[in-house]
Amino acid sequence: MSALRSTVWFLLLSIAAVPCLCAQDRSYGRSVVATQYGMVATSQVSASQAGALVLERGGSAIDAAIAASAVLNVTEPTSNGMGGDLFAIYWEAKSGKLYGLNASGWAPKALTIDHLRAKGITEMPQFGIDSVTVPGVVDGWAKLHDRWGKLPWRDLFQPAIFYAEHGFPIAEIIHAWWDGDHDGLLTNPESTRVFLPGGRVPETGEIFRNPDVVHALTLVADQGESAFYKGEIAQAILKTSQELGGTMTADDLASYSAEWVEPISTRFRDWTVYELPPNGDGIAALEMLNIMEQFKPDTAGPHSPGELHTRIEAMKLAYADVKRYDGDPRFSKIPVDQLLSKDYAAKRAALIDPSRANCTVAPGALGTSDTTYFTVVDREGNILSIIQSNYNNFGSNVTVLGMGFALQDRGGLFSLDPASPNALAGRKRPFHTIIPAFMQRGDQHIGFGIMGGLNQPLAHAQFVSNVADYHMNIQAAMEEPRFTDRQQVGCKIVIESRVTPATIDALTKMGHVLNVHEGYTSQMGRGQAILHDSKTGINFGASDPRADGAAIPEQPDFFGAPGKQ
């Protein structure tokens, strides 16, 4: 053997003897974030950092969430703000108890079907002042802080005030949404002034400042929620409404209060999954899971033709029911127990043809929603799963005079059919699409949510199945290719291109009409998740690559600040 061949052979043997130093191959991109400290996962890095800093200062999960929420109000005005609504699920580690908060607003007392018909309106307005309901975000913050806050209320708003005053660079996905609502912002002079500086949409990376929202946030920080519902901000909302011919009154604002509610749940495989009750559509996610549970997971994987077909058909059945039966339980009896019955799920599942798509799904016979989701865990393991929304980009496209935030258009989800459980009425809350979620099994507790209007329940069900059926970690489950259908009852499905061509072809032959989008399309919504293991004390965080954000852990005190561990 030549000296050269001997040398090469020796090197090959040496390499073979060394364990592989390459990373394990995997089908998802980001690593799950792990820490023994608290963590904040949001769709904007600046908001996650602000929340993590609050945790480092000794704040609770609630304190961190309010700080992150306020920053998101500034950096994602396309999706949320003080003019929107909020829902939350809180898991208290010490007691193991879950709490639900519904901070969705009601319609002004005078905003009725008869009022709109008198104006010649025959369909519920989707934009403008008649689509506006009372915003619930600020009272939601206050209710949470009163119960579990540790740090002074005023301190929690300083990061948001800083970013609004000094500016922040526009993130790329936010720029795209901002640009998509350019024409809508032009319909309201105040929206044009605040959100189209120089008459144009800010570019990606361009610094945007909002001095008006600095004023509004400072009022809330200094005076509490009363500034919003009874004080200077309330007066600005009323003036805005009056100038546009709206119906909002001082009493509509002053009488509003968020409501504590009991989460609803179902058992899926060996996990218990929780959502909030109507007027939200979390019930659709639970019913979809109940239907999916009637089938075994496809051994070919989560985006095999068989598995996707089952999920798609289960979605249609659940959504047909929700559209028929959901509404505000204070005005109509909502058949929650019947819709979540396992027997009812079995009857609905029997309607699924395993080889053919159903394009005309009807609701079952019974007896007598742009958004920002984020989640926080603190060192004690308390988890807050929280979501807030304007509904559409910049909501109603109506910006409050001198306050720098848009009012939501959540009233657009009311029906003008008097027979509907979701019929418009004064002081009634509309059907809602925004839903925080929570799931647990033994020592594992997960706060999660995925945004995107009516996409949310079906995205929740896909995430839960990825974890429960296919044993993915929360980051892999969040990144897994998803499908959506904004109509929820037909055969037109949007699906990500990471699903294989063979699967696309098989689903098409079943009758599904597929619109294939990019590998990580925001059409699927943007999710966040945090898992707390109560046995080890370790927290795991996931942030959707379909968003601009990150899961950021709090940092320990490396330099020994007095009084801090």
Q: What residues are annotated to the active site?
A: 371
Please, are residues 465 and 292 in contact by the beta-carbon 8 Å criterion? yes
Q: 84: which DSSP letter?
A: S
Residue showing tokens 């605040």: 194
Indicate the helix (H) or strand (E) that contains 73: helix 61-75
Nearest to 369 by CA among 282, 279, 283, 434: 434
Is the distance from CB of 151 to CB of 63 less than 8 angstroms?
yes
Quickly list H helices, 255-368. Answer: 282-292, 305-325, 336-339, 342-349
Backbone angles phi, psi at 273, to 5 degrees: -115, 130
Conformation bin of residue 356: beta by default, left when phi > 0, alpha when psi is -120 to 50: beta
Alpha-carbon distance of 242 to 11, in angstroms, equals: 82
Gyration radius of the chain over CA positions = 24
Q: Which DSSP string corresponds to 197-226? A: GGGSPPPTT-EE--HHHHHHHHHHHHHTTH
Q: If you ran DSSP here, which 8-state letter would residue 258 be given?
A: -
Query: Using CA atoms, how far apart are residues 174 and 249, in angstroms rounded to an integer?
Result: 33
Q: Measuring CA to CA, which residue among 6, 404, 353 is closest to residue 192? A: 404
Q: Do the Cβ atoms of 201 and 151 come closer than 8 Å?
A: no
Nearest Cα neighbor of 380 from 147, 152, 55, 146 is 55
Nearest partner of 286 among 372, 345, 347, judged by Cα: 345
Q: Cα dist. 160→1, 168, 216, 314, 395 in Å?
A: 72, 10, 11, 41, 20
Chain-centre distance for alpha carbon 91: 17
- Kindly list the distances between the CA atom of residue 1 and the CA atoms of 5, 15, 505, in Å, as whole numbers in the listed order: 6, 20, 55
Q: Which of 324, 331, 319, 386 is nearest to 87 (CA)?
A: 386
Distance from C-alpha of 408 to C-alpha of 12, rounded to nearest angstrom: 65
Tell me the two tokens of residue 120: 């010649």
Q: CA 82 to CA 105: how far, in whole Å? A: 12
Token readout for 31 is 């690593």
State the DSSP code for 415. Answer: B
Which of these, 534, 387, 503, 306, lies nearest to 76 by C-alpha position? 387
